């Protein structure tokens, strides 16, 4: 039986602005003793944890990162001292954030764990584009996939393309050329595609294109990490929405000139 009064909260910080946090997340931060801050989380989040010791444990692909084993040791160490540790993770903690490894480590040590869900960057990207990832006119689902497998290989892109779902691809910018080429073996070149960088933040950038132009257009526009790549017919709804907005703006301008 665990008699330790300490605990760990795996907290989803969302993709960007603080107003995307849940109320539960804000409450957990307010009473945190220690905050382990992910590199992709908005650094301003520490303002919501006034009494906490803040330790930055950055993890970002292609950059020098804090070892995962060290992060897990920190969580166990402070929780075993009876402290409330809040592990702040960008986006949704349970999606591509190594939460499974952390949960296993903490449970093995007999430490209580709470999970606070949040908004994933894939959903924030869709919101920025003004689309539904599961528009029933175009698909029957959405597949969230990371471009990096545990053995540093790549997913089975042909199998993913065969699902005919919207693909929300995380951590794929360094492999955007190879993944686009692999998908083109199974999908037509005119398949709508998009890249959304820094989704859900004031720095958000969006690129709408076709699968055959995805890598070249992203490179020409200077898109990089962190970004979500979206592929599928549902993405085309964003193009239609933009055309509608442009047409409405033209109509308004024409009306103003006539007046």
> How far apart, in whole angstroms, are the C-alpha atoms of residue 110 and residue 101?
14
> How far apart, in whole angstroms, are the C-alpha atoms of residue 77 and residue 187?
49
Q: How confident is the model at residue 2 (pLDDT cuts 50, 70, 90)?
A: very low
pLDDT-above-90 percentage for the chain: 81
Instruction: Map residue 43 onto helix, strand or coil.
Output: helix
Least confident of 30-34, 44-48, 138-142, 253-257: 253-257
Closest C-alpha among 144, 61, 141, 67 to residue 102 = 67
Closest C-alpha among 184, 181, 209 to residue 195 = 209
Q: Residues 156, 171, 217, 220: which is the catalytic one?
A: 171
Q: Residues 1, 38, 81, 233: which is the catalytic one?
A: 38
28 close to 36: Cβ distance less than 8 angstroms? no
Read off the tokens for 90.
């960008």
Give pTM, 2 decimals.
0.86
pLDDT in tens, 157-210: 999 999 999 999 999 999 999 999 999 999 999 999 999 999 999 999 999 999
Domains of the chain listed by start with CATH number:
7-116 (3.40.1010.10), 121-241 (3.30.950.10)
Contacts with 114 (C-beta within 8 Å, 6 or more apart), sequence order? 7, 8, 9, 10, 28
Residue 19 annotated in active site: no
Residue 75 annotated in active site: no
Q: How confident is the model at residue 237 (pLDDT cuts 50, 70, 90)?
A: confident
Average pLDDT over all residues of the chain = 89
Read off the tokens for 183.
């998908």
Report pLDDT for 149: 74
Name residue 197's beta-bridge partners: 205, 227
Neighbours of 97 (CB within 10 A): 20
pLDDT in tens, 87-125: 999 999 999 989 999 999 999 999 999 999 999 999 999
Strands (E), the chain: 7-12, 34-37, 53-56, 84-89, 112-116, 142-146, 166-170, 192-197, 205-210, 227-231
Higher-confidence residue of 243 and 15: namely 15
Residue 220 annotated in active site: no
Q: How wide is the angle at C-alpha 127 spanned by C-alphas 123 and 130, nearest 5°?
A: 135
The sheet with strand 192-197 has its strands ordered as 142-146, 166-170, 227-231, 192-197, 205-210
> How far apart, in whole angstroms, are the C-alpha atoms of residue 239 and residue 191?
12
pLDDT in tens, 52-89: 999 999 765 555 678 999 999 999 999 999 999 999 99
């Amino acid at each position: 039986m665990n008699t330790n009064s300490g605990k760990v909260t795996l907290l989803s910080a969302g993709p960007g602005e603080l107003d995307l946090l849940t109320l539960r997340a804000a409450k957990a931060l307010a009473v945190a003793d220690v905050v382990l801050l992910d590199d992709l989380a908005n650094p301003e989040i520490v303002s919501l944890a006034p009494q906490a010791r803040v330790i930055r444990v950055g993890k970002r692909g292609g950059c020098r990162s804090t070892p995962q084993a060290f992060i897990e040791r920190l969580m166990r160490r402070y929780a075993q001292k009876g402290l409330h540790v809040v592990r702040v993770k960008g986006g949704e903690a349970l999606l591509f954030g190594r939460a499974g490894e952390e949960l296993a480590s903490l449970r093995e040590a007999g430490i209580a764990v709470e999970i606070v869900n949040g908004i994933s960057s894939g959903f924030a990207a869709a919101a920025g584009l003004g689309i539904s990832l599961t528009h029933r006119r175009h698909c029957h689902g959405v597949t969230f996939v990371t471009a990096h497998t545990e053995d540093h290989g790549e997913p089975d892109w042909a199998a993913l393309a065969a699902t005919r779902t919207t693909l929300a691809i995380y951590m794929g910018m360094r492999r955007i050329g190879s993944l686009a080429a692999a998908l083109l073996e199974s999908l037509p070149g005119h398949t709508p595609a998009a890249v959304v960088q820094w989704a859900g933040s004031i720095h958000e950038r969006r690129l709408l294109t076709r699968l055959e132009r995805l890598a070249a257009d992203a490179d020409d526009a200077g898109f990089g990490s962190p970004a979500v790549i979206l592929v599928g017919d549902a993405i085309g709804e964003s193009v239609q929405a933009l055309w509608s907005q442009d047409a409405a703006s033209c109509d308004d301008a024409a009306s103003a000139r006539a007046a």
